[in-house]
Structures are given as C-alpha cells and as structure tokens.
Amino acid sequence: MVQKGSPLALGNESVWSLLLQYAIPSVIAMTAMSLYNITDSIFIGHGVGALAISGLAISFPLMNLSAAFGTLVGVGASALMSLRLGQKDYSTANKILGNVLVLNLILGLSYTVVVLLFLDQILIFFGASSETLPYARDFMTIITLGNVVTHMYFGLNALMRATGNPKRSMYATILSVIINVILAPLFIFGFKWGIRGAALATVIAQTSMLIWQFSYFRNKENYIHFQNGSFRLKRKIVTDSMSIGMAPFLMNTAGSIIIIVINQNLIKHGGDLAVGAYGIINRVAALFAMVVFGLNQGMQPIAGYNFGAKQFDRVNTVLKLTILLASAVMTVGFLICEIFPHAVASAFTTEEDLIDIVVPGLHIVMIFFPIIGFQMVASTFFQSIGMPGKAIFMSLTRQVLFLLPCLLILPSYFGVKGVWYSMPAADLLSSIIATYLLISQYRKSYIKQ
Amino acid sequence: MKKDYFITIGRQLGSGGRIIGEKLAAQLGISFYDKELIQIASQESGLGKEYFEQADEKKSYSIFGGLFGLRGSLADEPFSTYYLNDETLFKIQSDVIRKLADKGSCLFVGRCADYVLSENPRCLNIYISADMDDRIKRIAELHKMTAEKARDYIEKADKKRAGYYNYFSNKVWGEAESYHLCVNSSVLGIDETITLIRHFAEKRFSL
C-alpha cells in the first residue's frame, strides 16, 4: 500500500482530494494575511479618515521592503533547514535556527536605524504630501520601531513550517490576525490613538506571537530548539541562505519599486486621495490574488511530482483544476467589484470624494481579473515542474516588463485613469505570454510522451 | 545486523575512485553502488531518471544560481515545497542510500553518502585524490580527448562536486576532517591503494 504522505501518494490518490489537502491550509493562511491588511485599512479609513488611508498607502513600499529583507533570510534558511532535517542533521539545523535569529536581529536593527534616520525624506520620495506625511510618519515610526520583532516573527514562522510544524505556523498567523482585529479598533475607536493605534496593534500582535514561538523553540524536547553556541554566525549558513533568498528578495524589491512609481504617478495626476484610492483597490485586489497564491502552493507538489513521474494526464488534471478554481475566485472578485464597486469602496471610507475615485478605479483595474488567474497559475506551474526561469520571466513580464512602461507612458495622456489602465494592460499582455508558453509546453510534453 | 558495515568513497574525477571502490567491494564481498543509485532512486520514487541525472553531483549555489534557481516564491507566499527541485531529489536519493544500508554491508561512491550515513557508527569514509597528471591521463584515455580538454573537464568537475558536497552535506569536500582516510592513489597505484584501504577497513571492523 502507498504510505500517506509519501511521494508515491502524489502519483496515485485522486487529484481533487490531493489538491484540497495541500491547498486548504495555504489558502487559509493567505486569506488570513490579506484579511489582516484589509481590516487594518478599514479601521484606519473609518476611525482616522481618508487622508490616513493615503498615508498608509504611501508606506506600503516601505513595509514591502522590510518584508523583502525578511525573505532574504527566512526563505533561504527554511530551505536549508528542511534539507538538514531531511538528513536528521539536527546539530546543523539548530545552528541554522540560531543564525536566523541573529541575522534577523542584525538586519532588522540596521533597517530600523536607517529608515528612522531618513523617514521623512523616504516618505516624501515615495509620494507623501504635507497633508499625508504626518499620517505616514506616525504609522511608520511605530512599525519601524517594531521592525525587529516583525523580522524575527516571520523568520521563525518560516522555520516553524520547515521543521514540520505547518499547523503551528498557521495558527500563529491566524492568531496574530485575531489579536490585531481586536486591538486595532480598541486603540483607534476606544482610545482615539489614530493611525498610531493601528500600528501599535500590529506590533503587539506580532510580539505576542513571537513570544509564543520563542516558547516553542526554547523547549528542549523539540528536535530544533535554541542552544548555546548556535547563535554564532556561520559564514556558510549565512551565505547559503542569503543566496537562496536573493531571488525572492529581488522580486519583492521590484514589487516595492512598482508601487512607488504608481504612488508617484497618482500623487502627480490625482493628489492625495488618488493614492488613498489605490491603497483601497490594492487591498481588495490582493484579497483575491492571495487566495490564488494559496491554491498555487497546493498545486506545486502535485504538478511537480507527476510531471517528474511522466504522468502527464495527472499533470493536466491538476493544472486544469487549479486554473478553474483560480479563475472562479478571480471572477467572483471581478463580479463583486464590477457590480457593487460603491459598496466595496464604502467598506473602507465614508468620504464621497474618495469613493468617487475608487469606484471607476475598481472598474478599470479589475476588468481582466477573470483571465489573470490563469497567468498566475501558469507562472507557478513552471516553477513546480522545474523550470524556474520561465516562472521568473512570466512574473517579470507582468510586474516589470509590461507594467512599468505602461506606468511611464499612459498617465501622461490619461492622468489617474492612465495609472488604472496600466494594470489591466499588463494583465492582458502577460496572460497572452502565459497562454503561449503554456501551450508550447503542453505540446512538448505530449510529443515527448 | 550489527555486523554490517559501510564504506563511502569521495573522489576526485580521474583519481580511480570508482574502480577502487568497485574492486574493493568485490574483494570484501559487499554490494557496490555508484551511478546505480540513480536508477534505484528513480524506481523508488517513480520520478524520471533524467531528473536525478541532471541534478547528479552538481550544484551551483552562487548568488546567480540562487537568482535563477528561484527557490521560494514570487510573492509574499511562504516557502513552499515542490518536487523536481534539487533538494527533494537529494532527499529521495539519500533515503535510497539509507534503505540500501539497512539491507546489508555496502560501499557507496559519491553522492554525499558519508554525510547521509553519518548517524551510523559503522561507516568508514574514504577520500581518494590523485596527481593531476595521472588524472588527466586517465580522463583523456577514458573520454578520448586531448590533455588540454581533459584538464578543463577535470577542473569543472571538481568545482561541481565540491559545490554539490558542500551544499548538501555541510562539510567541506576534499578536506581531511570530512573523512577518516584521505589517500592519493598515485603514490601506491590503484591495486596497492585498494589493499591499503582494505587493511584499514579490516582493522576498523575486525573482519
């Protein structure tokens, strides 16, 4: 009999149940993350005001950049961790844990110092005006002070997954969201702390979860735990994990740069409220995209294994199924935003001026949502069948190759709408590329067979 | 079962490591695994042989390699596992090595077997090097290439093997402290080197 959890199960069990089994935990974790972002924006929008939403949107790239530094260490270290654990090499695995903690501490602190020193200049460069700067500054000062915690929290959470504890890591994510959802309204509406309250709630939520993780990694009964001597940085661990983490780091950085360009264009052509509108649209779009990312994660092992085992029928089944589910999710997003854009915008703010910018924006930005799910799945598909080059290329086409030129050209002619038009334009073009690459891959696999 | 013992051989390309391992295993009457591991790993996992061949004993972990090897994710998604990456293939292969070791005494050439079996106390780790001239001669003959080309080939292979070993094993390839015995096969010649290692193993395992 095929053992549960063995690679052979990936080649035998029903594709449907495999996909559900693998995708549901990731979908839950992803949704929790984006719900956290959305609720934060909603509380700030209603409790502080429209300009505060703009201030928040201005600080997105800075937060993304911090997350990018987190992946620089976290992604690589967890890859190394699972490698060592696969060989039952616990002593090296423990050193990786200690090194991750120290690295996050160093990176986190340096980031905090640099950002706090130049906070105003950075935010102004990112598109803050005299109106929105105070909000962005208040928010980012607290978030940046808590940056070390954020880094260590995400780093340890990634290691938690790698040590075979995906559930605990998922609970940590969900719990931090719950804590935040309780504290943020209390601080904003109850204590009237404004946007600072939202930032504080975030930092407190992450600190509590970090303490929880510390308690796990301090327990000597676990294979992997903090040990004396494991905190001395090992050159090999540092360079290995950083070189693995370099790709996701650069992708995240590219994402931050794109948002900076978007914000700069919006402030130029539409002012502060347009930036706030993007903040809202971005949160809404991300909610649906994150679900698809979760599905993608579930697809990876199934597609990868069966492709390697040359069971192309099963590869096709899982690919089709994932595309179908992803497109369904994105279509739901599309329908909600196209039919009820006003209701969606009102969830974040009551100020009509802002709603008036969000509504047409949502209309335009979401127009190709039903097909972009396909592109997102295809990109991950190539990664899972061992063709990361194509995966990177596809992701770059959407984020950089198409979006950036559109953003540099279209706004000069269409103003704020030009910014909105750039996004579906990039979606459409990259979906065409995805279709082409996927069809040619499909033909190749079948001819080989 | 306790009587079982294992010998692993790390070797420079062209040092005669494979033939030493093969003959030594025959003299000791134990199983011998080199490239055979790939075939077995492919059968055990159901994955195509070519994936194991592609990933066999090479690994670039430079920044560039990391960039285009894209581990992890494009978005903020957590690190996810997927098959067909070098790490998974290595895990499958090392599970095969451990399984074979469970069946009885054997000798492994390459593939970080020393690291894979490091939990096992009855494992002897050998490293075989040779003088550059001998290596070039051997490789040039084997692959029917010029000495110039052979040298180039050897240098590249050394780099690949070192990269592979250092990435997967957390030890340093070719460094004395990674092994129990390091020997240059040019000194005594292939046959006498085999005898030397055999005596070493006989002493160690009281055969």
Please name the residue of chain B whose CA is at the shortest distance from the CA of residue A96.
B170
B120 touches chain A (CB under 8 A): no
Of the pLDDT bands very low, low, confident and very high (cuts 50, 70, 90), residue A449 is low
B51: nearest CB among A236, A244, A308: A308
Q: What is the pLDDT of residues B132-183, one digit of tens each?
A: 999 999 999 999 999 999 999 999 999 989 988 988 888 899 999 999 999 9
> Residues of A with CB below 8 A from B46's CB?
7-8, 11, 305, 308-309
User: Is residue A436 pLDDT above 90, yes or no?
Assistant: yes
What residues pair up with B1 in beta bridges, in sequence order? none
Task: Please give the Cα distance from B161 to B57 (Å, whole number).
Answer: 5
Kindly report the nearest CA distance between residue B196 and chain A, in angstroms: 31
Give the least confident one: A113-117, B5-9, B47-51, B147-151.
B47-51
By the 10 Å C-beta count (0-12 exposed, 13-18 middle, 19+ buried), A394 is classed as buried
Within 13 Å of residue A186, how many CA atoms lie on the same side as its CB? 10
For residues A126-146, give the mean pLDDT. Answer: 95
> Residues of A with CB below 8 A from B75's CB?
251, 255, 289, 293
B53 vs B152, higher pLDDT: B152
Please name the residue of chain B whose CA is at the shortest distance from the CA of residue A63.
B76
Please, what's the largest Cα pairwise distance for chain A? 68
Please name the residue of chain A whose CA is at the shortest distance from the CA of residue B77.
A293
For residues B10-37, give the mean pLDDT. Answer: 94
Kindly report the nearest CA distance between residue A243 and chain B, in angstroms: 5
User: 3-state class of B11 per DSSP?
Assistant: strand
Residue B65 dihedral angles phi and psi, to the nearest 5°: -60, -40
Residues A31, A35, A40, CA angle at the centre, nearest 5°? Answer: 155
Tell me whether residues B84 and A384 touch, CB distance under 8 A.
yes
Tell me whether residues B61 and A309 touch, CB distance under 8 A.
no
> Residues of B with CB below 8 A from A75's CB?
71-73, 79
Of the pLDDT bands very low, low, confident and very high (cuts 50, 70, 90), residue B71 is very low
> Quick one: which of B158, B57, B156 has its CA closest to B111?
B57
Inter-chain contacts counted by CB atoms under 8 A, chains A and B: 161
Q: Which of residues 184-203 of B touch A (CB under 8 A)?
A: none
Q: What is the pLDDT of residues A68-122, one digit of tens each?
A: 888 888 888 888 888 888 888 888 999 999 999 999 999 999 999 999 999 999 9
H-type helices in B78-207, by residue range? Answer: 86-103, 113-116, 132-143, 147-169, 185-205
Please name the residue of chain A whose CA is at the shortest distance from the CA of residue B66.
A244
Q: What is the pLDDT of residue A269?
A: 95
Q: What is the pLDDT of residue B73?
A: 36
* pTM: predicted TM-score of the whole model, two decimal places: 0.85
User: 3-state class of B9 per DSSP?
Assistant: strand
Tell me whether residues B78 and A304 touch, CB distance under 8 A.
no
Return the DSSP state at B5: -
User: Is residue B66 pLDDT above 70, yes or no?
Assistant: no
Mean pLDDT comparison of A246-250, A259-263, B75-79, highest-scoring range: A259-263
Tell me whether residues A308 and B47 touch, CB distance under 8 A.
yes
